[in-house]
Structure formats: C-alpha cells, structure tokens
Amino acid sequence: MVDQLPSIFDQYKPDINSALKSGLQYKCCSLLSSSNENLNNILSYGMGWTDKFGNPINISGGKLLRPTLCLFAAEATGGSVDQAIKTAIALEYIHNFSLFHDDIQDQDEIRHHRPTLWCVWGEPKAIVAGNVLRSIADITLSELLNLTIKDADAVTINKIMSTGYLEMIEGQFLDLSYESRRNITTQEYLDMISRKTGSLIRCSMELGAHIGSQDKRVIAAFRGSGKALGYLFQITDDVLGIWGDAEKTGKPVGQDIARKKNSLPVVHALSKADKKQSKILETIYSKNELKQNDVEEVLNIMDTIGTKNYIKSLTYKYSDAALESFHSARVEDGFVNKFEELVQFLVTRDH
C-alpha cells in the first residue's frame, strides 16, 4: 500500500481548487439570495473548505480524481488546462452532489475524518445543498460557450456529462435496491459500480480527450481507459471498506461488513460459500446489528474461500485494461509515464 499521491494530483490541484472556490463563490453571490449565507456555509463545509462555523480549514479531503483526469486527458491529447477547467470543476461539483445524497441514503456519519453534511445540518438541508451543487455544475457547463470551444463541442460535452450523471444516479438506485438482497451475483455488482462510480470517471477521461482532440480513435481509447479505471477505483475502495486502515481511510475497519453493505468482497463471499459457510453467513446477516465477533467470523470465511485473492485478480484485470486502452491512444511518453504511475497508485492505494 502507498501513501504518496501520483504527481498529476499535485500538478493540477492548485488550478482545480482555485477554480472550484471562485466558481462556487461567484455563483452563490450572483445567483442566490444575499440572505442565504447559511447555504454558502453548508456548501463550503461539504466541499471540505471550512468548518461548520464557516472558518477556513486545511484538511486532507478528496483526491480530486475526476477533475484531475479531465485536465490530464485534455493536455495529453493536445488541449490546455484553460480549455478544460470548466468541465473539470463541473465534474467535481457533480461528484460532491452525489456524495451529499449518498451519505444520507447510506446513513454514513463520517467522511474524511469529520461528520458528514447531513449529520451537521440535517437531511433536508443536505438534500437541498446537493441539488444546488448539481445546478451549479450545469451553470458552469453553460459557460463553455464563452471559451475557445466550438458550440457543437459544448453541446456534446453537456450531453456526455448529463448522460454520465444520469447513469451515476441509476447506479445509486441499483445499489439501494440491492441492500435487502443476499443473492446478488458478482456480475450484477460489477454492472452497478460501472454506473454508480465508473460513469463520472469514464466521463472525465472522455471529456478531456474530446476537448483536446477531434480524433474519434483517441477519444474512444480514453473512454475505454476511463471505464476500466472506474472498476479499478471502486474495487480498491471496497477492499479498503473491509481491510483498510481506519486512520488512513477515515472509516472503521470492517465497516462494510458491520453495516451489512453489499460490497464486492461480501457479494463474493455470499456467492462462493459452501453450505456450512452459507448457514453461518445467513445467521450473521439476519441480525439487526452485527458485533465485532460477527465481523471477524465473516472475515474468516472470506479468508478461507479466497475472497481477497479474487479481488486482487480483478484489480490486475482492470489495471491492465486501463493501460492497454490508454497505450492505444499513442500519446507522448511523458503522459504515458504519468498515467502508469496513476494506475499503480489506484491498485495499491490505502486511502
């Protein structure tokens, strides 16, 4: 496992953070009522910029993966940060809108080592804040017409983005519908995460490539690479949700088991367990609340049937697919090296 983020995160982080903050501040001031300072505070807290009182803070928040991929893809295919920055921050606004709502639906109380939005301000305000952020993303995309981007390309970017986050919402619906089921197949689960998590990651690469290149072959290569990255990111996230270090993930060890969440390791264990193991799992998951010894029993079964090894094989499958598709775009070696570093990080990350 690694602590160090790949170089491309540091490369684009200042531009992304500056554009996110100025974009949100401007739109809140110009489009929302001046009396709605509390909403601005809620949004700033949700983005990780302030505490609940509106005081600026410096915490280790999200990785800004999606806007980073968008800017990287744009530059790798001949475009610029200035051309892609609006699209990049719109992706991050959409991602955070989904997190605001996802935390409510999953009843998650902690994210990035502090209380989630709904825990501080309540569910209704958190829902509204998410809706506002999604609207701000749409408005941000409308500003593409003021940049050096053709009108037809701006329409295409809007369509790809809108289709992508609709697919993300569909994935969240599937995830919720799977909560009460114990017979989900691994393929059903993989199809779900390709929507819930994978859609915006795929869009990030595709949109960046569309901004930087008019070559359909190149755009398709980046889209395919982004699709594989989406699987890889969520599968590794599922590993961290069960075997991750609480100090680094900000979530308790074994949380996905304790919450009876159908993450990939759990789905695999339930589908591959023998009769005796299935009976034990059925007894455990029939309980209203799981205790630590229940979590340990599930972990023992996973160890016996090789769940972790299965997950590891999938990470290699999708990391290889991401690299193969990216290499087919035939971009400059410097970008290839940075992408390979990113993929290695996603395979081995610990947070």
The CATH number linked to 274 is: 1.10.600.10
- What residues in the chain have per-residue pLDDT under 70? 1-3, 33-37, 248-253
Identify whether the C-beta of residue 237 lies closer than 8 Å to the C-beta of residue 197: yes
C-alpha torsion angle, residues 116, 135, 175, 326 (rounded to 10): -100
CA dist 13 → 10, 20, 121, 320 (Å)? 5, 10, 28, 26
> Does 99 map to a domain?
yes
> Does 152 map to a domain?
yes
> Does 142 map to a domain?
yes
Residue 59 confidence (pLDDT): 77
CB neighbours of residue 321 within 10 Å: 17
> Does 248 map to a domain?
yes
Q: Alpha-carbon distance 298 to 280, whole Å?
A: 9
Chain center to CA of 134: 15
Residue 155 confidence (pLDDT): 93
> Does 2 map to a domain?
no
Residue 179 confidence (pLDDT): 86
Identify whether the C-beta of residue 343 lies closer than 8 Å to the C-beta of residue 319: yes
Identify whether the C-beta of residue 160 lies closer than 8 Å to the C-beta of residue 210: yes
C-alpha torsion angle, residues 225, 231, 235, 236 (rounded to 10): 30
Identify whether the C-beta of residue 62 lies closer than 8 Å to the C-beta of residue 196: no
The amino acid occupying position 152 is A
Residue by residue, DSSP assigns 226-285 as: HHHHHHHHHHHHHHHHHHS-HHHHSS-TTHHHHTT---HHHHHHHHH--HHHHHHHHHHH
> Does 167 map to a domain?
yes
CA dist 219 → 81, 198, 264 (Å)? 17, 17, 30
Residue 3 confidence (pLDDT): 58
Which helix (H) or strand (E) covers residue 89, if one does? helix 81-106
Query: Comparing C-alpha atoms, which of 73, 43, 39 is closest to residue 204?
Result: 73
Q: Alpha-carbon distance 345 to 337, whole Å?
A: 12
Instruction: For residue 105, give its domain range.
Output: 7-348
Say how many domains are in the chain.
Answer: 1
pTM score, two decimals?
0.94
CB neighbours of residue 285 within 10 Å: 16
Only one residue has tokens 């940049």, namely: 147
Which helix (H) or strand (E) covers residue 181, if one does? none
> Does 1 map to a domain?
no
Identify whether the C-beta of residue 266 lies closer than 8 Å to the C-beta of residue 297: no
Give the residues across from 303 on adjacent strands.
none
